[in-house]
Chain A
Amino acid sequence: MALSSIKNLQRERQAFLARAVVGTVFCLLGTALLIVRLFDLQILQNEYFQTRANENRMRVMPVAPVRGLIYDRHGALLAQNKPAFVLEVIPEQVEDMPGLLKRLTGVVQLTDQDIGRFKERVRKTPRYRPVPLRNNLTMEELARYEVDRHAFRGVDVSAGLTRNYPLGVSGAHIVGYVGGITESELKEAAENTYEGLSLIGKTGVEKSSEDTLRGESGAKIIEANAYGRPLRELDYRRGYPGRNLYLSIDAKVQLVAEQALGELDGAVVALDPRSGEIIALVSKPGFDPHLFIEGIDYKTYSVLSNDPKRPLFNRALQGTYPPGSTVKPAMAIAGLEYGVVTPDDGVYCRGEISLPGSSRKYRCWKRSGHGFQDMVGGVMRSCDVYFYELAIKLGIDRMHDSMTRLGLGHKTGVDLPLEKSGLFPSREWKLKRRKEQWYPGETLNVGIGQGYTSVTPLQLAQMTARIAMRGKGFKPHVVYATQDAITRQVTPVPPVPLDPIELKDNRNWQRVIDAMIGVAHGVGGTAARIGRDSPYQIAAKTGTAQVAAMRQDEKKARSLESTPLHLRDHALFVAFAPADDPKIAVAVIAEHAGHGGSIAAPIARQVMDMYLLGEVRYNAGAAAPAAAVATPEPDADGHVHEVEVED
């Protein structure tokens, strides 16, 4: 019994030993399994997991670059960055939010909209992050807050930069404005371009020079915990501020042009013909660019965009108008170039003309007729019959070619957005677009700047500049230098010369210019009122563009006052000065304002005065009596008036 029990115990011990070995192997295998897995994670996949760990903890916080400033040609600020103070609240530090908001209303102005937007942001933001409550605190609000700031736990003021336009409405159409970046703009931009930025150029130079002005975002690499709370800065990557821009605009001339246009709608463009630099560019009515920076509200925007006068529309390069008689100098050049007329060839103006085999009458603006007119007289007095004859001799195709060479009917390539091309018609164009053949009568209308012809004020200024330069030309532009914001080094933007127009006889330039001088200074010139007291010589051409065609049977022209405003003629005027050494070329269009000579010319004169003399010498009151004495004189072109108002 004892023996068997011992034997039994021994067998049990043997069995146990075997199991202990199995247990040991089990443990070793289990440990080996763990080690294999650990080896895989820590050695084989180490790099991958290191990246993942860094991605976890590192946050790239973009640092927005400072946007470049915009100056005029003399260094006057046109766009600057202004500190904007934002009232922020850190929700986690506030015990009684409704109470806090109530107390804050006594310190800063808070609208229901502010509070609603704030509450929504609070819901979406981690509680330790500041949430903006009010943008653009006034200095007074800031001062009130600072006095009591200890009473507002969890409230802070942060300073950022916003855009400001010292010229306001006056510069809005050139400088443009910035506004909040939209989704689609962000999608179009190269990746990371707008890191940390919330504003983008929307119009004007702000848009066309966006890439220059923007600068390069920097970045702070910070360590953040699992809840995104930043803990410390690990690295800093410098950004670079945007470049400053010098515009060729002369702010003083710009203001004079704007004031000279007064209450009229229209545009003024002044160029330096020697370089294509734009000295002034006005489009009226204008708008306040500051409205757009903080995000315009729907109501204000719809008022602006539904205004029938279209204040957001830049007439200087988007507005297309019939040029009227302002094309006549260019027509004269074409006539001389193609040899269809000589300077001394004359036409007898009986007040109207008909095409052979047609009863339709094409009238001169002067019903009684100009009598015998040579080229100089035709330009000076704006004789329509002279140019009807010239147009017949030239034909539409040659007209198209030479006008197009002078810049009409196609984009000038100015460094501003949304330029329109306008149209100078041709046989080919009409067949293609209108599916119609060209009628000879249309040639006559085009010859006096009517019909299908439509051009922008910028194109007119460009055309005038090229005549002034005897065929040489430059691409119009506003940005004339850029400046590194840190090194202050200025890099000029060189003017882009255009292929010069070589005439077979280059004296023909001077012949036409002489005629244009006659417009301002000659007896019976249509712009004599601005030439009389001018200290410098002006070469010019007036124009009055018909908005509503006059019916054939209409014997009497409507008087200005009896015509509804939107059907009244546009007053146009182009000029350059000094005539022998051109420094400025101007195009003016005043919508529905009547006659070029009386309305548009004085505007151009003031602009030229300011640029050439540094002050406006032109005195409308002084010039008027002299004009009043003069006989009722040349006037609007291509349109007949019973009472011939001096133009």
Chain B
Amino acid sequence: MADLLESWHVDLWLLLLLSAVAGLGMFVIYSASGHSIPAVVNQAERFVLGLFVMTVVAQAPPEFYRMVAPWLYGLTVLLLLLVAAIGDHAMGAQRWLDLGFIRFQPSELMKLAMPMTLAAFLHHRRLPPRPLTLLAALVILGAPTMLIMVQPDLGTSMLVVAAGGFALFFAGLQWRWILGALAAVGAAAPLLWERLHDYQQKRILTLLDPESDPLGAGYHITQSKIAIGSGGLFGKGWLEGTQAKLEFLPEAHTDFIFAVFAEELGLITVLVLLTIYLCIVGRCLWIAVRAQDSFQRLLAASLGMTFFIYVFINIGMVIGLLPVVGVPLPLFSFGGTSMVSLLAGFGMLMSIHTHRKLLAN
């Protein structure tokens, strides 16, 4: 079995861990969607499709991705411009591109293209990067981020920034730059605040005091805290959660699925899920450490850390630590594009891990 997987360039550990998350997710989706078998089947189909994409991606050697990275980047930026021009509106934001046969969010693609491009860009450069390199990298990072931010899609743009930022971080970006950048962001925060949409501002304000507007903007957070808090150590039991079933919890099977999970299965199982997530991130970092060139290292580490940020932002917002942004719980939430793009990312990680040349040392 292991041999078979190896010959298919699939990493057994990652496959097991990813399947564990997705499997657990499907149980909770069944409960949170009001016992909908079609929803579970739909999610399973997407996971299988994702696994297929992952396997296909894993077949090509990492060099291939280094080569195509700039092209992919260019194409994605073009698509983002296209979205800005003719994109579909949904829920007050312009994120979708309808290609006739498929409707997808190019910003999702950028989550992959960004770490690939920066890793490829930094691959031949002297590391840690010199100021000119850094400047170029920031331009590569900044342009698409702005495009995503104006859609507006704060969650995805943050993830894109995280993906690019981690590439720079692992490239050895000096701490003074990092601290300087953080300080600059801090200083620019009031300006950025002005640029935020009303609803975005409201989300941040209600984070600070969700009970101030329990039926309005704070409703999500309040209800999700009630769901999680009432779950306790062992939870109310699978299918027994009242908050989701009785529709107090909005978006129960998508962005807020973690609340249903915590309500029904309790802290113990939550810790198990967090452990699995940590193992996935750990495996990614391990792959990065074992990787054979800068591009591979930076890409693997950056994908792994971005995955963690993904988890952190979603759980953070559901438990009321972070403002509500539209970020699903990776591989767990019901939903399309992110599942496939995430697994495509893991395909590249597997490619990195399984195409190592034995003669290296």
Contacts and interface: CB of A to CB of B under 8 A. Distances in A.
Contacts of A19: 169-170, 172, 301
Interface residues of B, number: 47
Interface stretch (B99-107, B220-228, B330-338, B345-353): B220-228
B242 A42 contact: no
Interface residues of A, number: 39
B229 to A, nearest CB: 3
Contacts, number: 124
Interface string A528-558: 0000000000000000000000000000000
Interface stretch (B22-30, B77-85, B201-209, B313-321): B313-321
Interface centre among B230, B266, B281, B312, by most A CB within 10 Å?
A: B230
A38 B267 contact: yes
Contact of B246 (A33, A45, A56): A56
B246 A226 contact: yes
Contact of B301 (A20, A48, A52): A20
A15 B288 contact: no
B172 A42 contact: no
B278 A28 contact: yes
Contacts of A38: 228, 262, 267, 270, 319
A24 B289 CA distance: 12
Interface string B267-284: 100110010011001100
A561 to B, nearest CB: 75
A538 B315 CA distance: 95
A342 interface: no
A430 interface: no
A15 B301 CA distance: 13
- The SS class assigned to the A binding surface is helix
Interface string A27-41: 110110111011101
Nearest to B267: A42
B226 A53 contact: yes
Contacts of B297: 13, 16
A56 B242 contact: yes
B252 to A, nearest CB: 11
B226 A49 contact: yes
Contacts of B226: 49, 52-53, 56
B312 A35 contact: no
Interface string B94-130: 0000000000000000000000000000000011100
Contact of A46 (B223, B229, B271, B305): B229
Contacts of A224: 246
B230 A49 contact: yes
A34 B294 CA distance: 32
Nearest to A13: B297
B242 A53 contact: yes
Contacts of A223: 242, 246
B233 interface: yes
A16 B166 CA distance: 12
10 contacts: A8-B126, A19-B169, A20-B170, A26-B305, A38-B262, A39-B267, A43-B267, A46-B230, A53-B230, A56-B242
Q: Which 3 A-B pairs have the closest CB atoms?
A: A49-B229, A53-B230, A225-B246
Given A17-B289, A23-B169, 17 more contacts: A19-B170, A20-B288, A24-B282, A30-B308, A30-B312, A34-B315, A38-B228, A42-B228, A42-B270, A43-B232, A46-B233, A48-B229, A50-B230, A52-B229, A52-B230, A226-B246, A226-B247
